[in-house]
Amino acid sequence: MPPPDVNKTHEDAVGSLKNPLKFLDQDYQTLHQSLLSKKMQFSDESFPANRSSIGTGLLSDKVMAQVKWKRPSEIVLYRPCLVVDGVSRFDYAQGSKLGDCWFLASIGAVSSQMDIMDQVIPAEQSFSKGYAGIFHFMFWRFGKWIDVVIDDQLPTINNRLIFVSSKIATEFWPALLEKAYAKVCGSFADLHGGFVSEALIDFTGGVHMHFDIKEAPANLWNMMESAFKSKTLMGCSTPRGATFQNTVLPNGIVEGHAYTVTGVCQVTTKEPVRLVRMFNPWGKGEWTGDWSDRSPLWKTVSANDNKNCLSVADNGEFWMSMEDYTKSFKTMDICCLSPDFLNGSSKCSWSSQYHIGQWTTETAGGIRAIWKNPQFRVRIEKPGEDCAGGECPENILVSLMQNHENRRRKQLPHLFIGFFVYEIPPEASKN
């Protein structure tokens, strides 16, 4: 078949960062100006402050009856703020009522990249100048950037937020960002359970790499080190326990839980030791084994390594050796705007493109009739001398995602999908 058209988003095209799609046809600027002129506060009918937005199966009827939706000015005594002293992974703590650690772990990764956070949280929003109870956030969904409008009414019990909250009482960016993502996914209940990779992609539009740690390549730590140096986002998850609960093990690791990889470094004691730094989106609860905050092993490293790496605080962040990391965690996700870091050379750069196809009754051939499936032809150029010998000498990275028509995330069927890569022989490449 002939090669398909390559889809590339131009800077000003609909669905680009400069011209995002308006989610549910809500235009933030138009709504904001209308509210200011009428001196009104926004109430979002498309994601109302009631039971439907929380969703089903998350809270019992008894707990739901206690929920009251309040604006930040009704929750705190002093003037609320969207952001206080910048955005940080240490700002927030996961709520006890919602299992969206996968989403919050991805925020932990993204919050250290201010260029990305500035895209996700558009500027010139506040609770003072131009305040009208309306905010908006940006997410990347299946090839397009979307602008999501919300009101600032948040679910509370006894005047406390029941989902994510900031450790600074007057700061509300975590709660509002979580609400905007819940709106995209259908409800707060639709955020209960997921994969770090989902949110990392939705925050960045980046290319996703997934590893089963037990089957990961031998050079995984080198890959992680290169990714960290290039400010690439990383997250990981622990295996589920027998009870499928977030049980805290004696070593401090939580079963069935998502974490953020926030650092990779090598220190020297009697011999070099490779370390990985992790962040628990609960905002507390840490590994207690070797290289934890109070481990005596830190006394064996140089003063410089100790100063650069160690921070003793119960903030959910900790170090552990690569060996303990591979024993404690099951899967790992890397999300990059460009996989340049795989080459280990600043002189190398990857080009990217995406193709859109679909499986229908006629085209979903499966393995037995794979020739019926959508096919895309890609020309792989030979790497130059500067790029040779990197972590990805094959020179191609394929990332596949599935777009559904149903907005409700929890109602989406878990379809098994995949792809095959075939080499086209030279004699057939001209056909």
| For residue 398, pLDDT beyond 70 | yes
More confident position, 311 or 296: 296
Q: Which residue of the set 32, 257, 315, 343 is catalytic?
A: 257
Name all domains of the chain by residue range, CATH numbers in brackets. Answer: 21-202 (no CATH), 209-333 (3.90.70.10)
Q: What percent of the chain has pLDDT over 90?
A: 56
pLDDT of residue 357: 75
Distance, in Å, from the CA atom of 289 to the CA atom of 338, rounded to the nearest integer, reads 35
Mean pLDDT of 50-79: 95
Determine the average pLDDT of the residues in 156-183.
Answer: 96
Q: Say which residues have a Cβ less than 8 Å from residue 94's Cβ, sequence separation at least 6.
A: 100, 101, 104, 164, 281, 282, 283
The one catalytic residue in 32, 81, 185, 280 is 280
Active site residue 101: yes
Better-predicted residue by pLDDT, 241 or 174: 174
* CA-based nearest residue to 355, from 371, 339, 378: 378
Tens digit of pLDDT for each residue in 30-47? 999 999 999 999 999 999
pLDDT at 5: 41
Out of 40-49, 62-71, 295-304, 376-385, which region has the weakest mean confidence (pLDDT)?
Answer: 376-385
Annotated active-site residue 32? The verdict is: no
Beta bridge partners of 261: 278
**pLDDT at residue number 386:** 62
Distance separating alpha carbons of residues 352 and 397, to the nearest angstrom? 9
pLDDT attached to residue 311: 86
Q: For residue 352, how far is the Cα from the chain centroid?
A: 20
The overall average pLDDT reported for the chain is 86
Instruction: Choose the weakest-confidence range: 29-33, 157-161, 240-244.
Output: 240-244
Q: Is the pLDDT of residue 300 over 60?
A: yes
Burial class of residue 336 (count of CB atoms within 10 Å of its CB; 0-12, 13-18, 19+): buried
pTM: 0.85
SS3 416: coil
Catalytic residue among 101, 185, 336, 392: 101
Cα–Cα distance for residue pair 140/337, rounded to 1 Å = 12
Residue 2 pLDDT level (bands cut at 50, 70, 90): very low
